[in-house]
Structure 1
Amino acid sequence: MKLLFSLVIGLVLVSCGRAQPIEPPHVPTGYLYKVEPGIPGKQVYVCNQRPFTVTGELVGPGNLRAQAQQVFENLKTSLQSVDMTLRNVTQVTYSIRGTSVTVDTTNARVLSNLGTAYFTQVPNIVEMKNVSQLAREDVLIEVEVIAVK
């Protein structure tokens, strides 16, 4: 997964201009990339946000809702470090631990409800996908967003 992420960032660098990783304060996991493509608006890619607290503890083992809520809080912190908010998010991708091809309707509903609570305007693109493996066995969700200022 990290190799795929590196390849995607490489493609972004080649096609969009320059990118620089930014270390968000007090967020132990995930990556934040600010990309300046040379056109109006700045893009920020927040990748691999996971459900850990500032001390690195996993929130809500076995509880997708609790983990997703922590991920949203981590997203807010990451975006705030570059003077953005969840209002700037134009695309969100949820990677949910699962074995089937499609996302379970209960999980989709949980994420949809939480998304509605956190996003005052729904991002243009919302994708939910099951993945067989995440960073750790006890992590149920990772989230990536693209934000534009």
Structure 2
Amino acid sequence: MTSQNPHLRFVNPPALGQAPGYTHVVEASGGRSVYISGQVALDGQGQVVGPGDWTAQTERVFENLRTALESVGLDFGSVVKLTLFLTDFDHISAVREVRDRYVNTAAPPASSAVQVVRLFRPELLIEVEAVAVAPA
């Protein structure tokens, strides 16, 4: 797969099977690494956005990630790894639908998804952390 960042190579080895919506291996060469803490559906005032609404919360999470990326001059094209923490896997399709509006679906980042009992506030449904690589 190709990326707009020439320092990134996205690989899906056939022996690992099809990767629906993510890439098995992302190789980064050169550049600088950026690690973004888990983002949740809180607005700038610390208020929960979309209580009980998976789509609204996921949109807010990805907007918060966008803000974090932009703060260091990057966008989602530089993201090489996402880790998603969900309180209920029954809603993974809604999460993927929102995620796909933000990431390059032709060369999606490596990803992991984990179901957790709860997040730090009970009304939060999802948290996502990211790793990005900026060109040198």
Aligned position for 1:45: 35
Q: SS state of the match for residue 119, structure 2?
A: coil
Report the Cα offset of residue 127 of structure 1: 1.4
| Offset, 1:133 | 2.1
Tell me the secondary structure at the aligned position of residue 67 of structure 2.
Answer: helix
Counterpart AA for 1:140? L
Conserved in 2, the CA contact under 8 Å of 1:92 and 1:123?
Answer: no
SS in 2 for 1:139: coil
Which among 106, 110, 115 is matched to residue 99 of structure 2?
A: 115
Q: Which residue in the other structure is 2:121 paired with? A: 136
Please state how far the C-alpha of 1:139 moved relative to its aligned partner.
0.5
Cα shift at 1:57: 1.1
Percent of aligned pairs sharing the same letter: 33
RMSD between superposed Cα atoms in Å: 1.4
TM-score between both structures, scaled by the size of structure 2 = 0.72
Return the alpha-carbon distance in structure 1 between the equivalents of residues 123 and 130 of structure 2: 22
CA distance in 2, matches of 1:73, 1:124: 17
Taking the aligned partners of 1:63 and 1:41, their CA distance within structure 2 comes to 37
- List gaps (5 residues or longer) in structure 1: 1-38
> With CA pairs under 8 Å and 6+ residues apart, which has the higher RCO, 1 or 2?
2
Greater percentage in helix: 1
CA distance in 2, matches of 1:110, 1:128: 13
Q: Deviations over 1:58-83 (max 9, x none)?
A: 10001111101000000000011111
Question: How far 1:124 moved relative to its partner?
Answer: 3.2
Match of 1:124 in 2: 109
Aligned partner letter, 2:93: R
* Residues 1:95 and 2:91 are matched in the alignment: no
List structure 1 segments (4+ residues) > 4 angstroms apart after TM superposition: none
Change (3 A) 1:73 1:124: closer
